Amino acid sequence: MRAICLLAMLVTGVVITKTSIAQLTGYTAPAGQTLPWGSTVVVSLDEAWKDVRRSAQPGSDTEPALAKFSNRASREGSVLYLRLEGDRVLKIFNEGVCDGFATCLHHYLRDWWPRLHYYVVEFTHGENGWAYLIRESDGLVVRVAHMPVLSPDGRYAIASDPSVANGGGQTQLLDMQTDPPTVRPVAIGASLCAAHAGLITLGPDPVWLGNTQVVFNSADVLFNGGTRKARLTLRIVDGKPEWEC
């Protein structure tokens, strides 16, 4: 079966390699590519959605979105199928690295944003993990730091990864009004607020208070020589993230 399979590249044209993965904060790649750690995304040229075999039962405990979006996604073993515009088929293969501890890579469908026409796919490999936004029209892939959380109006999304394994954690603001989304890093650290000597991690699960405010309820900050939990609020002003102190 013929399929497009192009090497995934950064928007700057730098080829993604295993040594560069830890430094990436986001990239956009064309349909049909080899993703980090060797997993592959292809758009079939001779297979329509009606031809997709669906031997696996959708809606497993590890992937409930398959049941919710059964008319748009399916799985057969390690292959995840997504329905693109024109009833074309995109496939994501778990054909990457398995280390000596039997830690293999996995891709899970987590959501579909119908207003924005993007699928949300979680990637995991041991302690490493991030998310891919996959455009429904052509299969274009955008990598973000973590599972993104949409604002109520769908204009913005926050992707916040608190894990030390991924470079000490990173947070990104996604402007979903552009296509592909514009990914902006959110600054964290000693300059965040004068009251804090430094920020250790924002913690998981950001919560939107409105369309331009998002709160982190369990941030760990340095304070008076120790650490404490803090509630930090991020505002979006003119499309840019700003911390409330």
- Cα 49–chain centre separation: 24
Q: What is the pLDDT of residues 34-78, one digit of tens each?
A: 566 667 788 887 788 888 765 544 556 788 999 899 899 998 888
Q: Which of 97, 120, 144 is the last residue of a domain?
A: 144
In this prediction the pTM is: 0.80
Q: What is the pLDDT of residues 10-33, one digit of tens each?
A: 222 222 333 333 333 334 455 455
Q: Which of 144, 169, 196 is the last residue of a domain?
A: 144
Q: What is the pLDDT of residue 188?
A: 76
Q: What is the pLDDT of residue 136?
A: 95
Within this chain, do residues 75 and 196 fall inside the same structural domain, yes or no?
no
Q: What is the pLDDT of residues 79-118, one digit of tens each?
A: 899 999 999 999 888 765 565 555 677 899 999 999 999 9
CA 212 – CA 133 distance, rounded (Å): 21
Q: What is the pLDDT of residue 13?
A: 23
Q: Which of 127, 144, 161 is the last residue of a domain?
A: 144
CA 9 – CA 126 distance, rounded (Å): 23
Q: What is the pLDDT of residue 205?
A: 84
Residue 192 vs residue 67, higher pLDDT: 67
Q: What is the pLDDT of residues 216-229, one digit of tens each?
A: 988 877 766 777 88
Structural domain total, the chain: 2
Given a cut of 60, is residue 213 above it in pLDDT?
yes
CA 214 – CA 242 distance, rounded (Å): 11
Residues of the chain with pLDDT > 70, as a percent, come to: 69
Residue 179 vs residue 24, higher pLDDT: 179
Spell out the alpha helix ranges (H) of the chain: 65-68
Q: What is the pLDDT of residue 50?
A: 84
Question: What is the overall mean pLDDT for the chain?
Answer: 76
Within this chain, do residues 163 and 237 fall inside the same structural domain, yes or no?
yes
Domain assignment of residue 42, given as a range: 1-144
Within this chain, do residues 88 and 187 fall inside the same structural domain, yes or no?
no
- Cα 65–chain centre separation: 15
